[in-house]
Structure 1
């Protein structure tokens, strides 16, 4: 039986220098072999997507946060973290007048914006658009909750409108408008069929 087969069978334990040579020969990080953490491949890091890779310079990577945007009763997860990054071509963003540094994405939670947005859909937020500018869906924070809603200015204040007729319109009166924070405008949405 070869030394390698004895290692696999658990009959003997390889010496550290043997493990190091095997890892190097396979192009695998010795840290990954020892701990199971970090990048498996030798010389690679686990940071955000590498735009230095040939062909990747045409893409922008937008963070998808674990915060869920409520389209129902409201939910806001404190201490949001980046789950992953969504890639868009820089050309498509530029064509829409969007700058990658001002974008983020979150998921919808609830059914108040159906049939336009469904629970679990992902929306892309343009954080530069924090003023109500005609028709559109805005991400807003009110009373500590995050919502995706249509906003409409009126004489009494601002109407918060759901597309699902099961939910009634809410008006934020003029004297409480300072409590309404527009996080940004939803500029793209996607979800599973």
Structure 2
């Protein structure tokens, strides 16, 4: 394995657990403080249906809410979701009005390469896509674990095409947990969309491009700390690809 695969800082390892969130926390904390307009933490938290301790964590920038709680905060404060996450309304597109039966999945302006690899430049919300809670439940998905990013390149053709919006289920990964299927992975700061297959004999993962013009890679179990699993591709917006469910 190339030496470049083995170069990871402690910061990169820690950030892997909260991928996409670090860019939002500080801005949300500032906007929440403004939205509360001096109201006591306990009073505001009760109106939102959450604990006072949770509000304190939000204001300190220690964590961020899922979109269900974000909707509650928006209703109570009278502020728009896009304003609360720190982006001006003309920048972030919200596809439909807030509804009790609708939740939103964030699309980030990062690109996962279905090719040679795309570097992560920024991690901010570009759009909010509405989804029926019933639809997500039917597919055994939790909106808090989902995000949307764009694929770029042709290495996963015909399964994925350049420009496809991928619904990613974010998940924790350890060397002892076997993964199969198409995943977004990060190696040396590059996001890639690849098919992972565990090889019991070789004790590691084959990193496969569905386009046979691209060479297959392999990473041994002992080197898995060099590869960060961002999440599994569970759906593609707007088309019925091979090997993945169609979005209805």
TM-score w.r.t. length of structure 2: 0.54
Q: Which runs of 5+ in 1 are unaligned?
A: 1-43
**1:16 alignment counterpart:** none
Computing the radius of gyration from Cα coordinates, the structure with the larger value is: 1
1:77 aligned residue (110, 120, 126) = 120
Structure 2 residue 157 is the aligned partner of structure 1 residue 123: no
**Is the Cα contact below 8 Å between 2:166 and 2:236 reproduced in 1?**
yes
How many pairs were matched up?
A: 148
1:177 and 1:124, CA in 2 relative to 1: closer, same or farther beyond 3 A?
Answer: same
Per the TM alignment, residue 142 of structure 1 is displaced from its structure 2 partner at its CA by 1.2
Does the residue aligned with 1:67 lie in a helix, a strand or coil?
strand
**Following superposition of structure 1 onto structure 2, how do residues 1-193 of structure 1 map, counting pairs within 5 Å?**
45-48=79-82, 53=98, 56-128=99-171, 130=173, 131-134=177-180, 136-154=181-199, 155-156=201-202, 157-191=204-238
Report the Cα distance in structure 1 between the residues aligned to 2:216 and 2:198, rounded to whole angstroms. 13
RMSD, aligned CA: 2.5
Per the TM alignment, residue 45 of structure 1 is displaced from its structure 2 partner at its CA by 4.2
**Is the Cα contact below 8 Å between 1:132 and 1:151 reproduced in 2?**
no
Per the TM alignment, residue 116 of structure 1 is displaced from its structure 2 partner at its CA by 0.8
Moved over 2 A (4+): 44-53, 76-79, 128-134, 190-193
More helix by share: 2
Report the Cα distance in structure 1 between the residues aligned to 2:131 and 2:79, rounded to whole angstroms. 22
Per the TM alignment, residue 129 of structure 1 is displaced from its structure 2 partner at its CA by 6.2
Q: Which runs of 5+ in 2 are unaligned?
A: 1-77, 83-93, 241-248
Does the residue aligned with 1:139 lie in a helix, a strand or coil?
strand
Does the residue aligned with 1:66 lie in a helix, a strand or coil?
strand
Report the Cα distance in structure 2 between the residues aligned to 1:175 and 1:152, rounded to whole angstroms. 16
TM-score w.r.t. length of structure 1: 0.69
Does the residue aligned with 1:57 lie in a helix, a strand or coil?
coil
